Amino acid sequence: MILRTQTSSVQVRYMQTHKPPFRIIIPGRVFRQEATDASHEHTFHQFEALVVGEKVSVANFLYIAETFFSQFFGKKLNVRLRPSYFPFVEPGFEFDISCTNCEGKGCSSCKQTGWLEVGGAGMVHQNVFEAAGYEKGKYQGFAWGFGLERLAMMKYKIDDIRHFHGGDVRFTRQF
Ligand SMILES: [Zn+2]
């Protein structure tokens, strides 16, 4: 028995019992062996999405991500992809949003880059679909995952992730 470190296990169980097309979101508490500091906590919430169908593409991911983050922050934001590797997606990428503070001009929040790192994503590897019992090559899909606390920290300008589980009611009451 081990405390889960991510919520991707939910994707697997969902695919074992459902056929595409489907769109699911998977919010859940996860646990990490971390040396904690202002941006690392041993307990936080992961927010995953999995969208699978016959014609799902990276363009769908970009549109949904831009719509989601723009609505969450209440302003038009752009999403940028950077190539990355995760074993269960191909291609895999990390994604950034345009800085919610300076809107891309460059400031101390975004280390003058104009972008904020949000999470990881990618097109689901065909081997994953095959393992789920889907017909080979028939479906495509994307998955993303990011930390919910990190997003709340950006939106409400919270400087330390440890406040969330710190137990100080002055922190929670302000919401
Ligand atoms: Zn900035």
Residue 73 CA, ligand 1 centroid: distance in Å:
14
Distance 140 CA to ligand 1 centre (A): 34
Cα separations (Å) of 128 from 46, 88, 133, 158, 169?
Answer: 20, 7, 9, 37, 43
Question: How far, in Å, CA of 142 to CA of 122, rounded?
Answer: 6
Ligand 1 centroid to 23 CA: how many Å?
32
User: Cα separation of 125 and 91, whole Å?
Assistant: 8
Alpha-carbon Rg for the chain in angstroms: 17
Instruction: State pTM to two decimals.
Output: 0.89
Q: Domains of the chain by range and CATH?
A: 8-76+119-173 (3.30.930.10)
Query: Cα(125) to centroid of ligand 1, in Å?
Result: 34
pLDDT per residue as tens, the chain (175 positions)? 889 999 988 999 999 999 999 999 999 999 999 899 998 999 999 999 999 999 999 999 999 999 999 999 999 999 999 999 999 999 999 999 999 989 889 998 899 999 999 999 999 999 999 999 999 899 999 999 999 999 999 999 999 999 999 999 999 999 8
Strand, helix or coil at 99?
A: coil
Ligand 1 center from residue 99 Cα (angstroms):
5
Whether 125 and 50 have beta carbons less than 8 Å apart is answered as no
CA of 151 to the centre of ligand 1 (A): 15
Tell me how far the alpha carbon of residue 115 lies from the centroid of ligand 1, in angstroms.
7
CA 102 / ligand 1 centre spacing (Å): 4
Ligand 1 centroid–CA 98 distance in Å is: 8
